[in-house]
Amino acid sequence: MKITVAQLNYHIGNFEGNLDKMLHAVENAKKDNSDIVCFAELATCGYPPRDFLEFPDFISRSNACIESLKQVSHDIAIVVGAPSINPEPEGKDLFNSAYFLYGGEILAIQHKSLLPTYDIFDEYRYFEPCRQYETFEFRGKRIAMTVCEDIWNIGNENPLYDICPMDELIKQGPDFMINVSASPFTYDHANNRLDILKENIDRYQIPIFYVNHVGSQTQIIFDGGSVVMSPNGRVFHELPYFTEEIITYELDEVQKGEQEIIQDKNKMHLIHDAIVLGLHDYFGKLGFSKAILGLSGGIDSAVTAVLAARALGPENVRAVLMPSQFSSQHSIDDAVALAENLGIRYDIVPIQKPYEAFYGLLESLFEGKPFNVAEENIQARSRGLILMALSNKHGNILLNTTNKSEMAVGYGTLYGDLAGGLSVIADVYKTDVFRLARYMNKDGEVIPENTITKPPSAELRHDQKDSDSLPDYDILDEILYEYIENRKGPKAIIKMGHDEALVRRILRLVNINEFKRYQTAPVLRVSNKAFGMGRRMPIVAKYLN
């Protein structure tokens, strides 16, 4: 038996586009004389469709895709994920289902049991969990179908759930398993995914064909990395990340498990490629092509510019240098050198005159109070005004260049440097921004060395350094990571050896700046706890204050 894994980039609500991709894959699979071609979870409509699932027309158009796929299933079986209607009067209206189509009919359907409702997932809002499990036979082989999370509760050891679907299906003696998934990217998730699949192999000892999405849906990035596992525990083939792939496998060869192909999992490589794909798809799927950003000569805007040029093409990226009376000449020189290295357009628009004009309007109202964050923010908002004016005039989408460390502690100005249509590196801590810059320069200097080595500074006052307001980034990022990713409270972090006053100060900064994060652009997610839809915190709260 031959089985084709189709790892495709779907587009939420683009039923015609998604169907065309699948029909193309079906034709490729037929040329390989494949018996089964497998698509991912909710492939007809894209993942996550969220409240679109509440629109009857949305479900009808998904069902029409199933009907179209049925028409081309006479010579080949098709496995595809799609929402299906719950015929029972009680419960949610929909199931999250895997269809097995053959001969113009629905030969089998398996609904998802384990509905993730944590972090970025909210499936129980829309779907009814399944409690019935049936394998089925096709061309002499008995097949178990599962949907994504259903293989993540091995032996019923996950405390989030009270049933293990594969423990039920294995009782019926399947020869292999097909799992249709929509498993989002984080820089450490690929290893976790392989570990889970190996645990399934250890327990069930049957081949697994695991097919995942690739591509980006607003904040959420899917890396692909579909996996074919042999029953001897070897990764027969882990498919490449961040690219569409259509590959056919001989079941007998997978059963033997004589090969093992595993992809590289270097953290900076993964983050780089994920953000490039996230940028590319955000623009492409929205119908935009051109980006604009402020280029300061600092490392954050430099890294963002490189990612944008690689995602969109240098001809589609425009940088604006906006020096003030506090900007150093070396920062201007570094920004110019970077733009010329990338081959992107750049303009120099000094902001001293607009700053002085605003200050002149406000000076009497400031009542002689000393220079402070108010004057600093006038500069940042002058820059934001210039960038948004150019964005409006020329149709360029403004990229926000704030990193995760700054976003966490509120080291940014609303309607100034926090402005933008997409936050490109706001899920990358400052220490990793430096590592990412080094990775970008691995084949030759793209980002000027001085940009990487000089002390970080917002340059909003004379001789300003980030260290004037923030602790060393190595210390700051470690505390932030424990609080944000690991959800540790102050006592646990202090026990790790960190200064108590510093820990409480940093955590208070995170909490009191929640209002800023509510107003910033979507953040491309590369960690397991990104700001945005996966981290839901109240603005008004007293915890840790």
Dist. CA 336–CA 133, nearest whole Å: 62
Residue 495 lies in a domain: no
Both tokens of 545, joined, read 């204050």
On whether both 239 and 159 belong to a single domain, the answer is yes
Dist. CA 46–CA 48, nearest whole Å: 6
The residue type at 108: A
Residue 475 lies in a domain: no
Dist. CA 208–CA 143, nearest whole Å: 10
Dist. CA 8–CA 140, nearest whole Å: 28
Residue 115 lies in a domain: yes
Q: What is the pTM of this model?
A: 0.96
Q: Cβ neighbours of residue 311 under 8 Å, at least 6 residues apart?
A: 275, 276, 277, 278, 279, 280, 283
Dist. CA 102–CA 35, nearest whole Å: 10
Select from 250, 523, 231 the least CA-distant residue to 406: 523
On whether both 260 and 346 belong to a single domain, the answer is no
Residues with pLDDT less than 50, the chain: none
**Which domain does 178 fall in, by range?**
2-264
On whether both 150 and 222 belong to a single domain, the answer is yes
Select from 385, 447, 439 the least CA-distant residue to 416: 385
Dist. CA 274–CA 210, nearest whole Å: 20
Residue 183 lies in a domain: yes
What CATH number did the domain enclosing 283 receive? 3.40.50.620
On whether both 55 and 23 belong to a single domain, the answer is yes
Q: Which residue has the tokens 């109070």?
A: 369
Query: Which pLDDT score is estimated for 155?
Result: 85
Both tokens of 252, joined, read 């007998």
Select from 165, 94, 91, 84 the least CA-distant residue to 132: 165
Q: Which of 431, 466, 501 marks a domain boundary? A: 466
On whether both 75 and 221 belong to a single domain, the answer is yes
Residue 441 lies in a domain: yes
On whether both 189 and 148 belong to a single domain, the answer is yes
Tell me the CB-side half-sphere exposure of residue 13, using CA atoms within 13 A.
13
3-class DSSP string for 151-170 = HCCHHHCCCCCCCCHHHHHH
Q: Which of 231, 264, 297 marks a domain boundary? A: 264
Query: Which pLDDT score is estimated for 469?
Result: 76
Select from 424, 147, 485 the least CA-distant residue to 280: 424
Select from 405, 527, 545, 413 the least CA-distant residue to 472: 405
Dist. CA 77–CA 154, nearest whole Å: 28
On whether both 307 and 222 belong to a single domain, the answer is no
Tell me the CB-side half-sphere exposure of residue 234, using CA atoms within 13 A.
13
What CATH number did the domain enclosing 210 receive? 3.60.110.10
On whether both 181 and 280 belong to a single domain, the answer is no
Query: Which pLDDT score is estimated for 545?
Result: 55
On whether both 336 and 459 belong to a single domain, the answer is yes
**Do you know the residue count of the chain?**
545
On whether both 432 and 389 belong to a single domain, the answer is yes
Instruction: Decide if 527 contacts 427 (C-beta within 8 A).
Output: yes
Cis omega (within 30 of 0) for bond into 231: no
Question: Could you tell me which residues are beta bridge partners of residue 532?
Answer: 535
Residue 474 lies in a domain: no
Q: How many domains does the chain have?
A: 2
Tell me the CB-side half-sphere exposure of residue 361, using CA atoms within 13 A.
6
Torsion angle of alpha carbons 528, 533, 537, 539, nearest 10°? 140
Question: Could you tell me which residues are beta bridge partners of residue 110?
Answer: 98
On whether both 337 and 371 belong to a single domain, the answer is yes
pLDDT in tens, 337-351: 999 999 999 999 999
**Residues catalogued as catalytic:** 41, 112, 148
Q: Which of 244, 264, 284 marks a domain boundary? A: 264
Select from 422, 439, 416, 436 the least CA-distant residue to 523: 422
Residue 155 lies in a domain: yes
Element (H, E) at 479: helix 473-484
Beta strand 77-85 pairing with 94-102: antiparallel
> What Cα–Cα distance (Å) separates residue 213 from each residue in 182, 185, 225, 235, 526?
5, 10, 8, 19, 16
Beta strand 422-423 pairing with 397-400: parallel
Dist. CA 242–CA 223, nearest whole Å: 5
DSSP for 184-245, please give it: B--TTHHHHHHHHHHHHHHHH-S-EEEE--EEEETTEEEEB--EEE-TTS-EEEEPPBSS-E
Average pLDDT of the chain is 96
On whether both 164 and 295 belong to a single domain, the answer is no
Residue 220 lies in a domain: yes
Select from 376, 373, 398, 375 the least CA-distant residue to 387: 398
Tell me the CB-side half-sphere exposure of residue 114, using CA atoms within 13 A.
22
Instruction: Decide if 35 contacts 240 (C-beta within 8 A).
Output: no
